[in-house]
């Protein structure tokens, strides 16, 4: 058992246990904390797959900003009461659990049975493929320039939208400015 195999299984266990924790935790804060560990696990898998920059950006954006936003909203809305998530009527929740399980089984089997286009060459040189940030940036600003600019505009729209939605009447500053 090589170390990279063990590492993959440890990270996969971390991701899946935390993901199940997200959807089945009693308190919303525990869900958010399990989401953080899921993000860490996914960042670890990115590092394993030779994408260190994307892994670090995953930690900065997701674990360091998006989930913090979730946690702050939970604290703002002061949700302390616990709810029991998996106790509703048996038939409908049974269907809701069965459908994703069926999906996973079907697609995994399909992937197994399909032609191995990747593992024939991929198995020979796995590892040692580390994308440098410079190459990513060159690709981002040449081939995907339009998408880059479009997403900047999208972020601007989202900022203006979120502020106008969450604005309190009268502004946030006290006294004359």
In the DSSP assignment, the letter for residue 44 is H
Cβ at position 8, least distance to other proteins in Å: 5
- Contacts with other proteins: how many residues (CB under 8 A)? 96
- Map the footprint of other proteins across residues 98-137, applying CB under 8 A: 99-101, 103-104, 107-108, 111-112, 118-119, 122-123, 126, 129-133, 135-136
Contact 50, 129 (CB under 8 A): yes
In the DSSP assignment, the letter for residue 117 is T
In the DSSP assignment, the letter for residue 167 is P
- Map the footprint of other proteins across residues 29-58, applying CB under 8 A: 29, 31-33, 35-36, 38-39, 42, 45-46, 49-54, 56-58
Does 10 engage in binding with other proteins (CB under 8 A)? no
What are the residues whose beta carbons fall under 8 Å from the beta carbon of 63, sequence distance 6 or more? 36, 39, 40, 43
Contact 43, 70 (CB under 8 A): no
Contact 41, 14 (CB under 8 A): yes
Does 160 engage in binding with other proteins (CB under 8 A)? no
User: Which listed residue (10, 37, 61, 145) binds other proteins by CB under 8 A?
Assistant: 61
Does 91 engage in binding with other proteins (CB under 8 A)? no
Does 70 engage in binding with other proteins (CB under 8 A)? yes
């Amino acid at each position: 058992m090589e170390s990279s195999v063990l590492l993959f299984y440890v990270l996969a266990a971390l991701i899946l246990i935390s993901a199940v924790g997200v959807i089945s935790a009693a308190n919303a804060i525990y869900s958010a904390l399990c989401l953080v560990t899921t993000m860490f696990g996914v960042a670890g898998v990115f590092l394993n797959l030779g994408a260190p920059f994307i892994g670090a950006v995953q930690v900065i954006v997701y674990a360091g900003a998006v989930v913090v936003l979730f946690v702050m909203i939970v604290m703002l809305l002061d949700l302390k009461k616990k709810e029991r998530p998996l106790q509703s009527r048996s038939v409908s929740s049974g269907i809701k659990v069965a459908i994703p399980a069926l999906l996973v089984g079907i697609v995994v089997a399909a992937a197994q049975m399909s032609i191995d286009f990747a593992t024939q060459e991929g198995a020979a040189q796995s590892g040692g493929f580390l994308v440098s940030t410079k190459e990513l940036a060159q690709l981002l600003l040449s081939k995907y320039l339009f998408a880059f600019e479009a997403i900047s505009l999208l972020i601007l729209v989202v900022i203006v939208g979120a502020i106008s939605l969450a604005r309190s009447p009268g502004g946030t500053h006290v006294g004359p400015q």
